[in-house]
Amino acid sequence: MNDFGPWRALWLSQLREQPGRLAVTALAVALGVALFSGVYMINTGALNEFGKATRQLVGQADVIIRGPSEGFRESVFVALARDADVKLASPALELAVALPRERESLQVLGVDPLRAVGIQPALLGELAGDFVNLFASDGIFLSVAAAADLKVRPGERFDVIVGQQTKSLQVLGLLSAAAYPQRIGIMDIASAQWTLDRLGIINRIDLRLASAANVDAIRARIAATLPPGVTALTPAIEQGRAASMSRAYRINLNMLALVSLLTGAFLVFATQALSVLRRRTSLSLLRALGVTRGQLQRGLLAEGLLLGVVGSALGVALGHVFAVGVLAAFRGELGTGTLQIHPLAYVAFFLIGTLVAALGAWVPAREAARRAPAHGLKSGDAETAITELRPAGLGLALLAAGAALAWLPPIGGVAVFGYGSIAALLFGAVLLVPAASAWLLARAPVSGRVPLDVGLAQLRGSVTQIAVSLAAIIVSFSLMVAMAIMVYSFRQSFEVWLSDQLPADVQVRAAQGSDTRFLSEADATQLSSLDGVASIELRRQSEIALTADQPTVALIARDLTPAGRDGVLALVTGGAGDGALDNAWISEAMQDLYGWRLGDRVEVPIGGTRHSISIVGVFRDYGRSTGAIVIPRERYIEITADRTATEAALWLTADANPNGTVAAIRAALPGGESLEVRTTTEIRELSLRAFDRAFLATYALEAVAVLIGLLGVAFAGASTALARRSEFGMLRHVGMLRQQIVTMLAGEGFLISALGVLYGLLLGAAMSLVLIYVVNRQSFSWSIDLAVPWMQLALLSIALLCAATVTNVISGRSALRADALRAVREDW
């Protein structure tokens, strides 16, 4: 017999009966695939662009020598250029240069063109006719993105801030967007050193080795000769280090997208399970007529596959559009805005979506094939037909596995087991829904009101069917609850941290992320003497490299009085220290990434030499996930003699007006308009707004998942109501009023959704603990204090309860309208 012959009629009848339900299921798969593939495409696209940019800058270098932003002496280059293993050495000065009017700083690369072309041959092409011009002392080549951002064209000039001075640079030409998609400028190294006040200083050397063999051995030998804080990397490490900074965010996004895909799979499962249940007589008839067990299973699986194929095809197309849109909207930040994905990736997404949908259809198909045809042909209790779908033992085992996985450490900085724990908890809890529902419903009190009690009896008798229809909504709602608790906890902790970080009234910052703008001693004196300023604290922040394979760590030198340390450092453990100059406080990331502990004595490179510090406290730092070390500024000055600062915190007198002081600071300091001067209140507001914006997309994705889950419940309700028409008819015959049946359905809807909400809240709370204490900690190396958004959860729960109740009533009303009274005679 042809495997699919008998299905055509069955499938078409299904399609005719419930086109909406099938469309929503396919749409759920499509959305899941779209988000999953879209997020992947954006990440891959951005990483490809980033990788291309890095490769362009690194060129054909075998080893890259990198130092802190303050740089190191050119003598290091001289020594390496003479090394027997080194064929070519190309020095570079790579700095983030401050721009006027608080604009984001510009990445400037100073190179020796004659040496650089040996490593970056593409550069020669880029500078084609203007090679000689590059030696102009104030000339710079800009990438298309940088020129567009600065609104300058070749021949025009723009200003940069160095120290307290404003300097002008002339645009010599443009670097092609294909070769340099990022926002960057390239100068001659001598011009860069002169313009940026770094005479005799470089911070990068690209090396080509004489032989491609033994690169690692040579790298290790060279690394041993380098000054403290200067590291030797391979291009692969360089790319990996940069990529690792955004890895946690990318993985989190991917996980979120995966969740949408899983919600789609649960919806396919629910659709297929209920559809198999509804058609159990027809399916058993097919078995009786000669369709084999295997044919039946394959046929039902094919139905799920068809949903998967339609959904996945739509999803891949939507994902492409989504990715193209996002990349175009964030052109510059995420590359050139073009999407280059291997065609096989599209095929892979299509197959993943189809496979996930097939997985959702597999369980109901297997159960239907296993059932003896005689049982299906006998009319009667539908519940017994799917009682096999109650694997409570497996559910409990998965919950136990989920709890155990949460205790395991990350792998390569990725919270693999944390995500595994969430998945196990989610699946385990979903498998336990029937058992839990049965337990809870058995304990629900009888009201004494006939409609409600009949509804309760109906629910008690159909827990597995309820569980099946609730699966998708429980998955999406619990994940939304988990995310809501996690984000709220994060926000609360972030607010407290902000208060600790901003104890003063006004903050003054040299241009954000800039290596060239700073506050001088004279600036500090000027600030202290302003009217209304009671006291001032200076900070000097720089980046230091501790190991070759980790991103740089922030070294923050602060004016700390022993009494004030507790209050301003957001300490998690430890304390103010004993006031000794070697006291240091580390962020939680230093514990996780470098294994440093309270009480340890470690060495760090400061100002080109190694210095011992004693760890007396650990603080929370939401600003940097790659690590930070705070030392007394006094010690920093002692080592480096550098009295400049990158930030100043100002405490005002009681009668001072913060906004007035901001204006006074800008007017008083040279180049004041290029400084970031804000009141603490303003910074708090801006920071919290940025925080909320960052999580807006998360909420939107989750809301879509819940909506799809709710639609799933609505269609399951409509399907059940249709199947119960003869029951409604019988109840009307024995004298139940139409309104009483509606009350019964409302009661059922309320109880079912209350079950879903209660279950989702508990499951979501459990998953939020894993998100907060495992995934976040392992991904970002910072801790979060648990805080529960009671009001938000209550409103969300009420909204869901109302929506599900109303949905059930509407489904029931429409079934009642469809001549329910006569439905009792459909069997006659």
Partner 1 sequence: MIDGLDFTLREGEYVAIMGESGVGKSTLLNLLAGLDRPDSGRIRFDGVDIGALDDDATTLLRRRSMGFVFQAFHVLPYMTVAQNVSLPLELLGVSGKERQTRVEQMLAAVGIEGYGSRYPRELSGGETQRVAIARALVHRPRLVLADEPTGNLDPRTAQSILALLREAVHASGGAGILITHSQTAAATADRAFVLDGRALQPLPDGRG
Binding-site ranges for partner 1 (CB under 8 A): 379-384, 450, 453-454, 457-458, 460-462, 726-727, 729-730, 732-739, 821-822, 824-825, 827-828
Which residue from 185, 70, 74 is spatially nearest to 126, judged by alpha carbons?
A: 185
Nearer to partner 1, 689 or 733 (CB): 733
Instruction: Report, in Å, the least distance between residue 459 CB and partner 1.
Output: 8
Instruction: Report, in Å, the least distance between residue 734 CB and partner 1.
Output: 5
Nearer to partner 1, 506 or 816 (CB): 816
Instruction: Report, in Å, the least distance between residue 420 CB and partner 1.
Output: 38
Instruction: Report, in Å, the least distance between residue 456 CB and partner 1.
Output: 10
Q: Cα(491)–Cα(688) distance, rounded to whole angstroms?
A: 8
Instruction: Report, in Å, the least distance between residue 732 CB and partner 1.
Output: 7
Tokens of 608: 């080109």
Nearer to partner 1, 129 or 380 (CB): 380
How far from 523 is each of 20, 119, 516, 644, CA to CA, in Å?
69, 42, 15, 9
Instruction: Report, in Å, the least distance between residue 382 CB and partner 1.
Output: 8
- Where do the DSSP E strands lie in 464-597? 506-509, 533-544, 553-558, 571-574, 583-587
Nearer to partner 1, 366 or 449 (CB): 449
Tell me if 574 sits within 8 A of 584, measured CB to CB: no
Q: Cα(385)–Cα(638) distance, rounded to whole angstroms?
A: 80
Q: Cα(254)–Cα(53) distance, rounded to whole angstroms?
A: 23
Residues 6+ apart with CB under 8 A from 247: 413, 414
Instruction: Report, in Å, the least distance between residue 747 CB and partner 1.
Output: 14
Residues 6+ apart with CB under 8 A from 105: 96, 97, 98, 99, 511, 512, 513, 514, 515, 516, 517
155: left (phi over 0), alpha (psi -120 to 50) or beta: left
Alpha helices per DSSP H over 60-182: 75-81, 113-119, 121-126, 144-150
Nearer to partner 1, 563 or 734 (CB): 734
Instruction: Report, in Å, the least distance between residue 472 CB and partner 1.
Output: 24
Instruction: Report, in Å, the least distance between residue 828 CB and partner 1.
Output: 5
* 20: Cα within 13 Å, side-chain hemisphere: 10
Instruction: Report, in Å, the least distance between residue 721 CB and partner 1.
Output: 15
Q: Using the 8-state DSSP alphabet, how is residue 663 labeled?
A: H
Kind plus residue range of the DSSP H or E element containing 463: helix 463-501
Instruction: Report, in Å, the least distance between residue 451 CB and partner 1.
Output: 9
Nearer to partner 1, 754 or 821 (CB): 821
Nearer to partner 1, 201 or 722 (CB): 722
Cα torsion angle, 6, 9, 10, 15, sign: positive
Nearer to partner 1, 221 or 733 (CB): 733
How far from 658 is each of 662, 671, 672, CA to CA, in Å?
6, 20, 16
Instruction: Report, in Å, the least distance between residue 735 CB and partner 1.
Output: 2
Nearer to partner 1, 522 or 737 (CB): 737
* Residues listed for the chain: 828
Instruction: Report, in Å, the least distance between residue 44 CB and partner 1.
Output: 52
Instruction: Report, in Å, the least distance between residue 308 CB and partner 1.
Output: 33
Nearer to partner 1, 247 or 738 (CB): 738
Tell me if 3 sits within 8 A of 286, measured CB to CB: no
Tell me if 41 sits within 8 A of 340, measured CB to CB: no
Reduce the secondary structure of 253-317 to three states and give it as a string: HHHHHHHHHHHHHHHHHHHHHHHHHHCHHHHHHHHHCCCCHHHHHHHHHHHHHHHHHHHHHHHHH
Nearer to partner 1, 147 or 816 (CB): 816
Instruction: Report, in Å, the least distance between residue 757 CB and partner 1.
Output: 23
Tell me if 463 sits within 8 A of 438, measured CB to CB: yes
Residue whose structure tokens are 């099946």: 468
3-state secondary structure of 454: helix
Q: Cα(812)–Cα(748) distance, rounded to whole angstroms?
A: 11
Nearer to partner 1, 380 or 412 (CB): 380
Nearer to partner 1, 425 or 815 (CB): 815
Nearer to partner 1, 2 or 379 (CB): 379
Nearer to partner 1, 42 or 389 (CB): 389
Nearer to partner 1, 600 or 727 (CB): 727
Which residue from 631, 630, 649, 647 is spatially nearest to 639, judged by alpha carbons?
A: 631
**Helices 790-817 and 725-733 sit at what angle, rounded to 10 degrees?**
70
Instruction: Report, in Å, the least distance between residue 787 CB and partner 1.
Output: 43
Instruction: Report, in Å, the least distance between residue 742 CB and partner 1.
Output: 13
C-alpha 225 chain-centroid distance: 39
Which residue from 48, 110, 419 is spatially nearest to 239, judged by alpha carbons?
A: 48
Instruction: Give the N- to C-terminal CA distance of the chain in Å, as an integer.
Output: 33
Could you tell me the strand order of the sheet in which 86-97 lies? 157-162, 165-175, 139-143, 184-188, 106-111, 86-97, 204-209, 63-66, 231-233
Tell me if 127 sits within 8 A of 113, measured CB to CB: yes
Kind plus residue range of the DSSP H or E element containing 402: helix 392-405
Kind plus residue range of the DSSP H or E element containing 713: helix 680-723
Nearer to partner 1, 599 or 735 (CB): 735
Greatest Cα pair distance, the chain, in angstroms, is 102
Nearer to partner 1, 119 or 435 (CB): 435
Tell me if 208 sits within 8 A of 12, measured CB to CB: no
Instruction: Report, in Å, the least distance between residue 821 CB and partner 1.
Output: 5
